Structure 1
Amino acid sequence: MENAAQRSGRSLAAEVEVRMEHSLNRQDYLVEQWGQDVFDIADSMAKALWHIEQFTGQRWIDDESTFQLFSMTAAELIRSYRDLVLRNGRDRPTGSLDGKSPAELAQMFAGLGGINPPRARGSDDQSIADARASREAWGKTLERLGSRPLPNRQAKERKP
Structure 2
Amino acid sequence: MSRNPLVMNPIKLFKLGQKYMLICPTDKYLAKSFPEIKIISYIKLANYYMGPTLVFLFFWQYYLNANLILMIISAVFLISLPIQGYLWLGKRATSPLPINLLSWYNHVKQKLIDNDVISESKSKTEQLDFIHFMQLITLTKNHFGNYFGEDDNNQENFN
TM-score class, shorter: under 0.3
- Give the structure with higher Rg (CA): 2
Q: Which has the higher contact order (CA 8 A, sep 6+)?
A: 2
- Normalised by the size of structure 2, how large is the TM-score? 0.26
